[in-house]
């Protein structure tokens, strides 16, 4: 963290990536990433399952994350989030939202990634919740592409894993213990075709991103409540990869 504060942008991105990969390895999580559609300076829009999502994304595509302002004051996690190029959003303040939009646009203009979780909370990984389109506006206003990213977790036997889920009343400690009880887990990150490149309305782009993530992650489009099974098969869909709690996760969308 001392080096992170004084080194250049390229070195900081590499440190963030290698550190995140080391954390996943320590948790016994193997990353499988399909970065076919990744381009510099894109807004990453991802589904949200666990606090581990942040490290999965950073291990594949080092990013700045958008988080609610309160996270900055959390012990340890707030300090780490601040040092990790987190963009803190103060809810209910239009003036502050404009400042944040400019900050995000500035990061994207430098060819860096910014990541948001438009569901605004975590699910158990078997469903997708409603996407909040306003979180996509900074990229669209700046003429930057939106990159839908599908996240999913799998057991070694090919079954979808619920071990990383961090929803409902599950605590950080309970979630971590459940992950560590597995011999190995697979985290899949799949990029899908870019959106928002033709002056579409943000609601249209949000709906397109949600549909793309659902297809890549093998999830139903119906908005099931967190914890409600989506009646999903254990195996990934044929021909493709299988692939919050904003009050707890260190770097999430507001």
Res 236 pLDDT > 70: no
Residue 194 lies in a domain: yes
Determine the pLDDT at residue 94. 64
| Average pLDDT for 221-239 | 42
Lowest mean pLDDT among 84-88, 132-136, 180-184, 207-211: 84-88
Checking if the pLDDT of 152 tops 80, the result is: yes
pLDDT tier at 75, thresholds 50, 70, 90: low
Counting the structural domains of the chain, the total is 1
Tell me, yes or no, whether 76 lies in a domain: yes
State the pLDDT confidence band at 67, using cuts at 50, 70 and 90. confident
pLDDT of residue 199: 82
Full residue range of the structural domain in which residue 217 is found = 2-247
CATH assignment of the domain containing 75: 3.40.1130
Tell me if 48 is assigned to some domain: yes
Share of the chain above pLDDT 90, in %: 60
Q: Is residue 254 part of a domain?
A: no
Residue 252 inside a domain? The answer is no
- pTM of this structure: 0.82
Q: According to the model, what pLDDT value does residue 240 have?
A: 38
Cα Rg of the chain (Å, integer): 17
In a domain, residue 253? The reply is no
Between CA 79 and CA 73 the distance in angstroms is 8
| Residue 217: inside a domain | yes
């Amino acid at each position: 963290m001392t080096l992170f504060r004084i080194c250049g942008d390229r070195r900081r991105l590499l440190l963030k990536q290698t550190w995140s990969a080391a954390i996943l390895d320590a948790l016994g999580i193997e990353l499988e990433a399909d970065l076919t559609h990744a381009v510099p300076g894109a807004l990453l829009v991802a589904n949200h399952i666990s606090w581990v999502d942040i490290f999965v994304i950073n291990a594949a595509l080092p990013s700045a994350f958008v988080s609610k302002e309160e996270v900055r004051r959390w012990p340890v996690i707030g300090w780490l989030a601040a040092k990790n190029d987190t963009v803190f959003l103060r809810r209910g303040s239009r003036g502050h939202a404009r400042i944040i939009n400019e900050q995000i646009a500035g990061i994207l203009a430098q060819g860096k990634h910014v990541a948001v979780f438009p569901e605004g909370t975590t699910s158990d990984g078997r469903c997708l919740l409603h996407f909040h389109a306003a979180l996509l506006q900074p990229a669209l206003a700046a003429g930057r592409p939106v990159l839908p990213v599908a996240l999913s977790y799998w057991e070694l036997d090919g079954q979808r894993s619920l071990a990383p889920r961090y929803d409902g009343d599950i605590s950080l400690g309970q979630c971590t213990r459940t992950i560590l009880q597995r011999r190995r887990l697979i985290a899949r990150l799949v990029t899908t075709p870019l959106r928002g490149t033709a002056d579409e309305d943000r609601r249209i782009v949000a709906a397109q991103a949600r549909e793309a993530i659902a297809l890549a992650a093998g999830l139903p489009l119906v908005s099931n409540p967190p914890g409600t099974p989506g009646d999903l098969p254990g195996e990934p869909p044929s021909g493709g990869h299988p692939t919050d709690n904003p009050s707890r996760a260190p770097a999430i969308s507001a």
